[in-house]
Chains A and B, each alone.
Chain A
Amino acid sequence: MTKSKTIKPVSTQTTRRGALKTLALGGTAAATLPLWARYAGAQTAAPIKVGFQVHRTGIGAAYGRWYDRTTQAAAALINDQGGINGRPVEIVAEDDGTDPKRGAEVIEKFATQHNCDIGFGTLFSHVVIGSAPRAGELKLPYFVVSEGHHVASGMLNRYTLQPGITDVKSQVQAMAPFVASNLGKKVTMIFPDFAFGHDHRDFFTAAIEAQGGEVLEQIAIPPTETSFTKYFPKIPRDTEVIYHVMVGPAVLTFVKELGEFFGPQRPEIFGFIDSLEAVDIGSPGLEFLEGTYFWEGNPRYAQADQSPYDAFFREKVGVDSNGASVNDPKDVSTYAHMFGCWETLHIVKAGMEAAGYQTTADRAKLIEAVEAMTDLPHSNAHPQGAKVFNGKTHQVFGHQYISKVTDGKLLLVHTTSIEDTYYPDEVDYTTQPL
């Protein structure tokens, strides 16, 4: 017995439904062409993974929020421009809790679990110092945005670089010529009694003495202090300038009590904006700051002679002319620091393109390519200003800004030269093996 086999006729005719399906698929492909065609030249279309060590919780959360926004904006821009070496950039964010132990764990996670190409974006110095040894051991290029002197001091390793933001030593010493020439030569310093404050104490004392000035008194405030009035009688009567770098939530109390202590007869006052990052200068209690001076890494308020690059940066990140979010005027940014994330990601892009970076096996080439960089011109990639990168110390140098509080806003009054920020090299990382 044989079985008959029914063969269905195969239609070769184009049906209306089939044509519509084909057209729909083709249309979708055509519509998304700009999205994928720009990555088509790469050997692989897999994304470049940037492990973003972000302070989402802990003491650095306010900075972390704005570092995150800036990083996402920079990555979006780089992807709109075709990515890096034809590959899209993917930000892999992990919260480090602003804690060095967790920071080191996050670096391990980037390197061994997410298989990230680089680690990036850490701000707080103790997290950087706690994480950098693991980055070096895992040979994960670690691009920090910390402004700490730890990179250029030689404490870390060849895999840790700071190409997007200047360090505290160069910032502080560049302030001394302006302070000595315009505000006074007899200075009293008020600073928190921990490493950040000690850096200011040591670097500024040396710098002002080099300008013919002197520090009359160094007043260290314990980190747990909540009231400051009892320290103010230590300020010598012949003080011409008070230099302050208080940070943390107690800064509002500090300013208020300083105002109550001096009243209208006060010496000149110079501070670092770190104290008031993410804080509205118009906040109640800060009226006393009117007429005082601040270092700014990048002017928070758009100035009359604002560069087109700064305007571009503000627009892309979503910051208004007062340095606040365009969506919420009360959400003040950390404008003096967050440009560092933007500029660092552009350095990574330039470095990877110069190195022909394709896989994690090319990490050493990336380090060498970044070390070879020198002049970084003022541009959309470097909206804060022109910079010079020192490949030996892995530290970038750039202009610093001094602003005066005028009518409740920060008005730029002085821009330092890049040369003002130089100091002798303390390390040559290029001698370390990769």
Chain B
Amino acid sequence: MTADLRKIIGLHGAVLVILFAAQFFLPAYHHGNLARIMVLATYAMGYNLLFGYTGLLSLGHALFFAAGLYGMGLGMTQFGLGAGAAVVLGVVAGAGIGALIGALALRTEGVAFMIVTLMFAQAGYLIILYFGSYTRGDEGFVIQQADRLVAGLDLSDPTVRYFAALSIFYAAFVVLMWVLRSRFGHVLIAIRENEERAMMLGYDVQRYKWGAVVLSAGVSALAGAAYGVLFGYVGASFASVQYSIFPLLWVLLGGAGTMLGPLVGTIFMFYLIDLSSGVTTAYMLIAGIVLVCLTLFAPQGLMGELRNRFWRWLP
């Protein structure tokens, strides 16, 4: 084991241990917040795979998050599935839509890819509204507390919810870490760094990018399904354009192309809004100013700056 690998395992292991231990000392409010943040950070990790590691900037990831959310929610309300099976259905729905969208959107690149993904997401949002008799349109619907059970565990219980959120975060973290250290992940990074060279080396770049879209969509859908089943609500606002922008912001703030960046960015943004809203009603102005400053003075994001300045080994 190299020294860098030991550092990588040490740092990331410490973060995972802290997340596990946090539930024992955090006050109730922050305990609930951290459960929510871990689910949203999972969404950001899914986004980071495509944006941070593959170099594809999507503006339509809310579609995948919502596919997981509605796949899970409709699976329970329309097909009578249990919570566990419904989450699986949500992930399959998100990955399936990712496969379809990927096959179409990857015919474009650059700005066109951004616009095509944005348009698909907007179409998805309008489809949710159109089928209002099933989805309850913009109002959304509630997943009843009595239905939010997995193996007899009540997911509305704060401790169970925290463990569930932690498990989902762990699972996504470990899988993505493994993927990025695999040959597949190395090719994705090669595509990000120099797509023409990767092609020249004989890699089927389109197939790798499509695989990244499917995996990214699946992880995002997992987060969406988990969010719905843990917090009891399925609504169209999660399919709106702002939920495509959020993971981009979280990843940019935390550090694109770093494993811990999505978590750090999500925590930062969450508490920036939460704390500044307690100071002034113009809290979005504060958030905007902070974001501009970060972009100017830490363009690689918080973890990206740490990597540039101190920890060159940071994955």
Contacts and interface: CB of A to CB of B under 8 A. Distances in A.
The reply to whether chain A is a binding partner of chain B is yes
A141 B32 CA distance: 19
14 contacts: A100-B235, A104-B233, A105-B33, A105-B36, A108-B32, A112-B27, A112-B28, A126-B138, A129-B139, A129-B140, A129-B142, A195-B138, A196-B139, A223-B129
A94 to B, nearest CB: 7
Given A195-B137, A198-B132, A126 B235 contact: yes
B129 A99 contact: no
Interface in B197-243: 231-233, 235-238
A130 B235 CA distance: 8
A137 B29 contact: no
A112 B27 CA distance: 8
Interface string B252-287: 000000000000000000000110011001011000
B235 A129 contact: yes
Contacts of B231: 104, 133-134
Interface string A118-150: 000000011001101110110000000000101
B143 A108 contact: no
Contact of B129 (A56, A105, A193): A193
Nearest to B240: A99
A24 interface: no
Contacts of B139: 125-126, 129, 148, 150, 194-196
Given A126-B140, A156-B142, A195-B136, A57 B284 contact: yes
Closest 4 CB pairs of A and B: A133-B232, A112-B28, A195-B139, A195-B137
Contact of B233 (A56, A100, A109): A100
B141 interface: yes
Interface string A392-414: 00000000000000000000000
Contacts, number: 92
A276 to B, nearest CB: 20
Interface residues of B, number: 35
A421 interface: no
Given A133-B143, A133-B145, A195 B283 contact: no
A204 to B, nearest CB: 16
A108 B140 contact: no
A101 B237 contact: yes
Nearest to A157: B145
B64 to A, nearest CB: 17
Interface of A: 56-57, 94-95, 99-102, 104-105, 108-109, 112-113, 125-126, 129-130, 132-134, 136-137, 148, 150, 155-157, 193-196, 198, 222-224
A155 B141 contact: yes
Nearest to A100: B235
Contacts of A133: 142-143, 145, 156, 231-233
A94 B277 CA distance: 8
B19 interface: no
Nearest to B242: A99
A189 to B, nearest CB: 15
A224 B284 CA distance: 24
A209 B61 CA distance: 44
B140 A134 contact: no
B126 interface: yes
Nearest to A137: B156
- Give the dominant DSSP class at B's interface: helix
Of A99, A126, A222, A223, chain B has the most CB atoms within 10 Å of the CB of A126
B283 A95 contact: yes
B137 A222 contact: no
B237 A126 contact: yes
Contacts of B136: 195
B20 interface: no
A222 B138 contact: no
B178 interface: no
B281 A56 contact: yes
Contact of B29 (A108, A193, A194): A108
Contacts of B184: none
A196 B236 CA distance: 13
A222 B145 contact: no
Contacts of A196: 138-139
Contacts of A95: 277, 281, 283
A194 B132 contact: yes
B305 to A, nearest CB: 28
A412 B239 CA distance: 42
Interface string B119-143: 0000000100110110011111111
A94 B132 CA distance: 30
A428 to B, nearest CB: 15
B274 A105 contact: yes
Given A57-B284, A105-B36, A108-B33, A129 B233 contact: yes
A99 B130 CA distance: 20
Nearest to B273: A102
A327 to B, nearest CB: 19
B201 to A, nearest CB: 44
Contact of B237 (A99, A112, A134, A223): A99
A108 B27 CA distance: 12
Given A95-B281, A101-B238, A132 B132 contact: no
Contacts of B274: 105, 109
A68 B172 CA distance: 43
B234 to A, nearest CB: 9
Contacts of A108: 29, 32-33
Given A104-B231, A195-B138, A222-B126, 17 more contacts: A100-B140, A102-B273, A108-B29, A109-B29, A112-B27, A126-B139, A126-B235, A129-B233, A130-B233, A133-B143, A133-B232, A134-B232, A136-B145, A155-B141, A194-B129, A194-B137, A196-B138
